[in-house]
Structure 1
């Protein structure tokens, strides 16, 4: 295992950012390869500790000659966001300067060639240079996982519909509760950009049967503890074994996926009609029926009509909910995977 340091120039003199990259050379040139990154949103830490726990498994496998496919691992992918502290709290989803989401604006390349992302004549900002660098690091790998988390939620993934149902083994290996798939080009999310070069490629280049490209949501932001880190590391390791990147006879055979799989258009984004204190009546993982009370907004405390009830627009599965207990009008409350197309406008902010 080799460690290198990637450096990103800041947007003012004397400022720069760096992050470590770990590489493992595989023993078989024909084996699938893997790229893992975590904390692109710097404040989302479950993936970082999962990779930390995974590394000891990989070091052992490497020492025993069981790493078949090459691997590139970035445990903390966003050093810019990690520096954005305000009143003692990290704000790692958006770049303070450009106000752009760190998981938006990745280049949608038409071919699996990262050379257009480099060049001294290219003028860019630090956050965009970081995105280009991460794309360069991930390019060419068969398995590309971007590890995130929700505010509060069950574990699930986003993936391109072209990979469903072949990607079901990923969800099974990681013990996920749901898969959301879509062919929408989105707004340049990392996972969308990672699969984009292969969508129009020839079958010999695309090799979609061996690709796993997904945004993995490891529960909620507070779900950071030793037990979950080990469980998620075991899931990642299980996937690497099932897909042939690592060899390990101690890992059992592939298991069928028993969770939810739905198109992204079925996702209901529940938003508040007013500001106030949020009282949730359901939690992630609950099943709801159309018309069920899912939340109450206390907007005028003490008044007889001082609260507003929020009800499920259709039957479905509660995927996530916001961790804050005060909301403004239009604020996100929760996501529900419906049994049919969404009755509300879908705008996914991950």
Structure 2
């Protein structure tokens, strides 16, 4: 395993950020190359734990000569966000200086323009230098996995329709409970990679065989446990073996039989009033139209002091908010529905 560091100079004197990069050299030039990063949202740590155990497996494979394709892993991709503590709480999703989500505003370039990402870096802010450097590394690989997590959540993924259904092997390897088929119209990291992969020279490609850019949501923010992380690392190993990036003849993937749904089928359940949330349903449960999802206590102690939130469509509760105090319009759940849940969604991500 080769270890190096990306050094990002800070925007104030005396500050710099270091990003460790772990590389495993492959022995087969025809095998697919892999890039995996975790904790781009610095307060989302399941992916960091999974990366730790995956590297254990890869070191063993390296010793046995079983690494076929080059594998690059960045276990903690965002030291800038990791340093943002506000009144004792880590604030790793948004850059406090620019108020921008760390997983937005990645440059959209064609694959042949990859090296332009590193031009004139000194004129960029530290966050933009970090984003451009990470994206440049990722575009040197064929299989790109960005490890995230939701708040409270089942395991699912955002996968551009251009990589589906070929990417069903990843869903099967990790035993995902759902796949959200995205439209590739945002500036998130995974979609910036997909943008480049679909523009390899000439017209935009509708399908990109042999390549993949995906955001993996490794359950919820607090789902950081050794056995769970080891099992997910084993799932990633199975995927790498199935794609020929590592050698393991024992791997046989089952067929993925979970739901793979367009983003228009994801019902965003929001609070009608502010107050204290009492959930009646948990993540992973299936609900029918009309089922009671949550009660919001808007006026404690009053006979008419509650508001009920009910499911409009049947589906799988994919995510749930961990916050039990909600503002008006705040997100409560995402429900993956078998039918179209909305017609007003703008292209891009489901939330900021």
TM-score interval w.r.t. the shorter chain? Answer: over 0.9
In 1: Cα distance, 2:122 partner to 2:45 partner: 32
> How many angstroms does 1:122 deviate by?
5.8
Query: Is residue 117 of structure 1 aligned with residue 120 of structure 2?
Result: no
SS in 1 for 2:209: helix
Q: Match of 1:43?
A: 43
SS in 2 for 1:44: coil
Aligned CA-pair RMSD = 1.7
In 2: Cα distance, 1:235 partner to 1:178 partner: 15
Contact map agreement 1:112 1:140 (CA 8 A) in 2:
no
SS in 1 for 2:111: coil
Deviation readout 1:177-219 (Å, 9 max, x if unpaired): 1111122412x0010001111213369x978221221000000
Contact map agreement 1:314 1:343 (CA 8 A) in 2:
no
SS in 1 for 2:72: strand
Under a length normalisation based on structure 1, what TM-score does the superposition of the two structures give? 0.95
Q: Match of 2:63?
A: 63
In 1: Cα distance, 2:57 partner to 2:197 partner: 31
In 2: Cα distance, 1:306 partner to 1:269 partner: 24
Are the structure 2 counterparts of residues 121 and 287 from structure 1 closer, same or farther at C-alpha, using a change threshold of 3 Å? closer
Contact map agreement 2:241 2:251 (CA 8 A) in 1:
no
> How many angstroms does 1:142 deviate by?
1.3
In 2: Cα distance, 1:102 partner to 1:327 partner: 24
Query: Is residue 146 of structure 1 aligned with residue 138 of structure 2?
Result: no
SS in 1 for 2:333: strand
How many residue pairs align between the two structures?
A: 347
**Which piece of structure 1 moves more, 106-115 or 226-235?**
106-115
> How many angstroms does 1:126 deviate by?
1.2
Contact map agreement 2:184 2:195 (CA 8 A) in 1:
no
Query: Is residue 274 of structure 1 aligned with residue 276 of structure 2?
Result: no
In 1: Cα distance, 2:320 partner to 2:55 partner: 31
Under a length normalisation based on structure 2, what TM-score does the superposition of the two structures give? 0.95
In 1: Cα distance, 2:297 partner to 2:98 partner: 35
SS in 2 for 1:114: helix
In 1: Cα distance, 2:106 partner to 2:324 partner: 32
Q: Match of 2:251?
A: 252
In 2: Cα distance, 1:298 partner to 1:90 partner: 28
SS in 2 for 1:59: helix
In 1: Cα distance, 2:75 partner to 2:22 partner: 9
* Unmatched 5+ stretches in structure 1: none
> How many angstroms does 1:128 deviate by?
1.2
Query: Is residue 92 of structure 1 aligned with residue 123 of structure 2?
Result: no
**Which piece of structure 1 moves more, 100-109 or 115-124?**
115-124
Q: Match of 1:316?
A: 315
Q: Match of 1:11?
A: 11
Deviation readout 1:99-140 (Å, 9 max, x if unpaired): 000000011112343211122376221111111010011112
Contact map agreement 1:112 1:198 (CA 8 A) in 2:
no
SS in 2 for 1:216: strand
Are the structure 2 counterparts of residues 235 and 97 from structure 1 closer, same or farther at C-alpha, using a change threshold of 3 Å? same
